[in-house]
Amino acid sequence: MSDLLFNSFTDAIPPIRFDIQRISVEQEGQPLIYFYDQLGYATPNFAVPAAAEPILSLIDGSRSVQDIINFSDDEVTKVQILEYVQFLDGNGLLDSAYFGERAEEIEVKYEQNNIHSSITAGSTYPADPMQLKAYLNDAFDTHPHAEPVSKAHALYAPHIDPRVGMSTYVKAFSAIKNLKPKRVVVLATSHYAGLYGDVYDNKPFILSSKDYEMPNGTVKTHREAISLIKEQTQHDEIFGTSFVDRAFRVEHSIELHLLFLNHLWDHDFEIVPILVGGFDELLYHDQSFLQDQIKAFTYLLNQQFNDDETFYLISGDQCHVGKKFGDQKAAKELFSEVENFDSKFLDHATSNSSKQVVELMKEGYDPYRVCGFPPLLTYLNAFTEVKGTLLDRSIWDEERADSAVSYASILFT
């Protein structure tokens, strides 16, 4: 692939990727620009000196090496500039032919693997099994529990970092610790499907048959269920399904639920992992093809996976507010609005008023960026007879970023 590295003095240099986030950091007194690639294509922990910002600003897709030399001092040669451009390209930062090949190679390798290896272990919780067990034991010893139930249909719980949301996780999962379902259908937020271009156009329901390799045990996928869904839906767009599972590669929303199931349950169970993409279209149109897709897919869930041996996990957080998420105001200035919104949203959800959930989301067109909306609405549409009990609601105030995320848990019976 090195032959594909950008190599011209006169052609326009490919721009720095639009989906790369630049973060100013300091290491040992040296100011750096750290590049965060949420899709994991770029070299991990890659940073350059902050002094490189002027040349980075010139790499916008319109200028060549020859053009950039006109902005540089006499001591810099065009060969040196080209070498620096190739350095950036080789680390996956440019939207180039090399990057295209590199990204596809990573995705194909993932798709061909039968295992999904945890991407959260070692960052948000210990990767060592013994340390993880002690960590979770301590959490369940420390935080308040919910009353364990003997029967339930679903649990809506967050996928926020356990280091900030552990109390809500404990309250949520302690409620189901005595359940022993053989099959768990996981409806989870897809944070990254929208970054894959047209791969998931008109396909909001994404499925995978990979087993999940977690530090506290491998969770097997219910391949029979996946095959059944594939057989019944893949030839009809009305179901909105995709079995191209690259959206799972860097997704955390399922892993964090499996972490707690593995810790609390000692019986055999298998999962049906389903990522749910964005439902923005519902906020702009009263009648849409997406509505038809939701109706068709949720009817299938109701008909095929609605028995005493099946349990549903719904993975989603609530509001994302503050400057990190694009608001002009700091999160603290929005707390009363968020509390009021969450109260209404969760009331509608617990009473299974899916129409009112949608109407609430339409007000301001999802102004608080509720990532749990698509998977939760999917469940409510599939099972109109269930009712929920609110177990917990909380908010993480990330003061340094003037931002916050609210999250909650609901038990459905």
C-alpha to C-alpha distance for 210 and 248, rounded to whole angstroms:
9
Closest Cα to residue 245, out of 202, 194, 199, 208?
Answer: 208
Q: What is the pLDDT of residue 28?
A: 87
pLDDT tens for the chain, residues 1 to 413: 567 899 999 999 999 999 999 998 888 889 999 999 999 999 999 999 999 999 999 999 999 999 998 887 767 899 999 999 999 999 999 999 999 999 999 999 999 999 999 999 999 999 999 999 999 999 999 999 999 999 999 999 999 999 999 999 999 999 999 999 999 999 999 999 999 989 999 999 999 999 999 999 999 999 999 999 999 999 999 999 999 999 999 999 999 999 999 999 999 999 999 999 999 999 998 889 999 999 999 999 999 999 999 999 999 999 999 999 999 999 999 999 999 999 999 999 999 999 999 999 999 999 999 999 999 999 999 999 999 999 999 999 999 999 999 999 999 99
What domains can be seen in the chain, in order of their start residue? 2-105 (3.90.930.60), 114-412 (3.40.830.10)
pTM over 0.85: yes
Closest Cα to residue 258, out of 299, 311, 319?
Answer: 311
Q: What is the pLDDT of residue 2?
A: 65
Closest Cα to residue 394, out of 145, 107, 169?
Answer: 169
**Angle of the 335-350 helix axis to the 354-362 helix axis, nearest 10:** 160
